[in-house]
Chain A
Amino acid sequence: MTVITHARRKSRLSKIIDEAGGVSIGAALTQAKANLEALKPRSAAEVADRIADLAAIQPPASPDQTMTALGQAYRAANGVIDGAGPFGMDDIRAVAIGLCDLIDAATPERPFDWRVLPVYAQSLQLLLALPDDAEGRLKVRESLEKMVDRKLGQPG
């Protein structure tokens, strides 16, 4: 196979980064963390909105609607992860990742089980509502993880 090599030109970014002025790495990280922290109050609302999107998705009425519906569910679950991820909602993020794994594993031979979608929507709503230290949080997460393991662990 032919390989054409383009000698790397120095990018403008490589020049800019060493120009006079700027900030220390420590100061940059401190400021970035503070900026992210400022978004935390919005995260719960964002997660709630994306869970509502998930709950509103109807199973496809015909096979040609399957990909569209799966795409909607996948993007909604991605939105949950986006909203939850940086702000300590680790169990919500883990549950949404499990849903993404299930959607991603769907094939024509092993179609997505649409019965799990409302289960996920309700479980995520519950996790969002429960206090951080509630015992039930772990149970919800573990039962869903077991289901994902069971469904994806099967050969095929």
Chain B
Amino acid sequence: MSGLEGLRDSAVINLTGAVTMVVDDSPFGLDITASALLGFGIKTRYACHSAAEAIDILKDHPIDLLVVDTEMPEMDGYELVRWLRRSGLDPNAFAPVIMTATHVRRSRVTEARDCGANFVITKPFSAASLLERIVFVARDTRPFLEVGDYFGPDRRFREGKAPGAERRADVLRKMKHAADKAAAATGAEQAG
């Protein structure tokens, strides 16, 4: 198996004709993404270093896949995707969008969910995880929804607590800090 869920190593894909845009203000970050895509047979048609540059192209040229970094100066990736979904551009407003994130700010977690992207993947991504997402968005049959301010692929969220152990770094830190303080207090009591 390839490590890609549900796909064998021998399964064949053809992405050579996919008109792809990569947006990243970091030239090196853009090269990393474009190099991985090239391995899959995707030659990046539009390599943009800013959201403004991307918008100029998206207005006039249809694309099949957008890979965009979340964090960029001035207009960031979330704003670009939100603009795209609301642009009314056909077919670009419905194009599959994969966002790449070096570090997701806590204040932007909601925006990552609500901007209308199909996926957000964190860097460093492996070639396998990027390809897996591309194959998923290519086969994605979810309808697009307009709900209030949201326009994008149908999102289904579980109500209540997430399954499994706590994974949020800030919550874990607070728990660790509280445990350390409690242990220090106990140690001081015993010493006294």
Interface residues of A, Cβ cutoff 8 Å to B: 1-9, 11-14, 16-26, 28-36, 38-39, 42-43, 46, 71, 74-75, 77-79, 81-83, 85-86, 93, 97, 100-101, 104-105, 148-150, 152-155
Contacts and interface: CB of A to CB of B under 8 A. Distances in A.
A86 B124 contact: yes
Interface stretch (B48-56, B173-181, B184-192): B173-181
Contacts of B176: 149, 153
A111 to B, nearest CB: 16
Of the candidates A30, A81, A150, the one having the most CB atoms from chain B within 10 angstroms of its own CB is: A81
Contacts of A19: 14, 17
A149 B173 contact: yes
Given A4-B145, A14-B139, A33-B127, A78 B39 contact: no
B4 A20 contact: no
Nearest to A104: B105
A29 B146 contact: no
Given A11-B91, A46-B28, A86-B32, A78 B14 contact: no
B124 A17 contact: no
A-B pairs, top 8 by smallest CB distance, nearest first, are A32-B39, A153-B177, A22-B14, A85-B124, A26-B9, A32-B127, A31-B39, A4-B146
Interface bracket on B: 35 or more
Contacts of B7: 25
A8 B28 contact: no
Contact of A32 (B12, B36, B103): B36
Interface in B137-192: 137-148, 154, 169-170, 173-174, 176-178, 180
A79 B26 contact: yes
Interface in B68-122: 71, 73, 91, 94-96, 102-103, 105-107
Interface string B15-41: 111110000011011011001111111
Given A12-B91, A97-B103, A5 B173 contact: no
B11 A12 contact: no
A97 B139 CA distance: 33
A6 B173 contact: no
B103 A100 contact: yes
Nearest to B107: A104
